[in-house]
Amino acid sequence: MLTAYTADQVRDAERELMARVPEGSLMQIAATGLAAVCARLLPSVYGARVALLVGSGDNGGDALYAGARLAARGARVEAVLAGSRTHEAGLAALLEHGGRIADESALDAADLIVDGLVGIGATGALREPYAALARRAGEADALVVAVDVPSGVDAGTGEVAGAAVRAHVTVTMGACKTGLLVDPGAGFAGALEFVDIGLGPHLPDADTGALTGADVADLLPRPVAESDKYRRGVVGIVAGSESYTGAAVLAVGGALRAGAGMVRYAGTSAPVAQVRAAWPEAVITELDGPDLGGVGRVQAWVLGPGLGTGGFARELAAQVLASDVPVLVDADALTLAAGERALLRRTAPTLITPHAGELSRLIGVPGARIEAARLEHARRAAAELGVTVLLKGSTTVVAEEDRPVRVNRTGTPWLATAGTGDVLAGVAGALLAQGLSCYDAGSCAAYVHGVAGRLAADGVPLVTTDVVAAIPEAIRSLG
**What average pLDDT does the chain have?**
95
The burial of 271, by beta-carbon neighbours within 10 Å (0-12 exposed, 13-18 middle, 19 or more buried), is given as buried
DSSP conformational letter for 344: G
**What's the mean pLDDT in 231-241?**
94
Residue 104 carries which side chain, given as an amino acid letter? E
**What's the mean pLDDT in 84-91?**
95
232 has pLDDT over 90: no
Closest by CA position to 1, among listed 208, 294, 139: 208
**What's the mean pLDDT in 252-260?**
97
Which residues participate in the annotated binding site for AMP? 392-396, 421
- Tell me what pLDDT residue 372 has: 85
> What is the rounded distance in angstroms from the CA atom of residue 107 to the CA atom of residue 116?
14
The burial of 297, by beta-carbon neighbours within 10 Å (0-12 exposed, 13-18 middle, 19 or more buried), is given as exposed
- Tell me what pLDDT residue 228 has: 67
393 has pLDDT over 80: yes
pLDDT digit string, tens, across residues 98-133? 999 999 999 999 999 999 999 998 889 999 999 999
pLDDT band at 230 (very low <50, low <70, confident <90, very high): confident
**Do 133 and 159 contact (CB within 8 A), yes or no?**
no
**What's the mean pLDDT in 213-220?**
97
pLDDT digit string, tens, across residues 30-61? 999 999 999 999 999 999 999 999 999 999 99
pLDDT digit string, tens, across residues 349-365? 999 999 999 999 999 99
> What is the rounded distance in angstroms from the CA atom of residue 231 to the CA atom of residue 434?
8
Which residues participate in the annotated binding site for (6S)-NADPHX? 58-62, 119-125, 130, 148, 247, 306, 355, 422
Closest by CA position to 187, among listed 208, 165, 206: 165
* Domains, the chain, ordered by start: 2-205 (3.40.50.10260), 213-476 (3.40.1190.20)
> What is the rounded distance in angstroms from the CA atom of residue 25 to the CA atom of residue 12?
17
- Tell me what pLDDT residue 223 has: 80
% residues pLDDT > 70 (the chain): 99
328 phi and psi angles, rounded to 5 deg: -95, 125
Which residues participate in the annotated binding site for K(+)? 59, 115, 151
Which residues participate in the annotated binding site? 58-62, 115, 119-125, 130, 148, 151, 247, 306, 355, 392-396, 421-422
pLDDT band at 347 (very low <50, low <70, confident <90, very high): very high
Contacts of 139 (CB under 8 A, 6+ apart): none
Closest by CA position to 405, among listed 218, 205, 213, 217: 205
Closest by CA position to 471, among listed 216, 259, 258, 234: 258
- Tell me what pLDDT residue 207 has: 85
**What's the mean pLDDT in 3-7?**
93
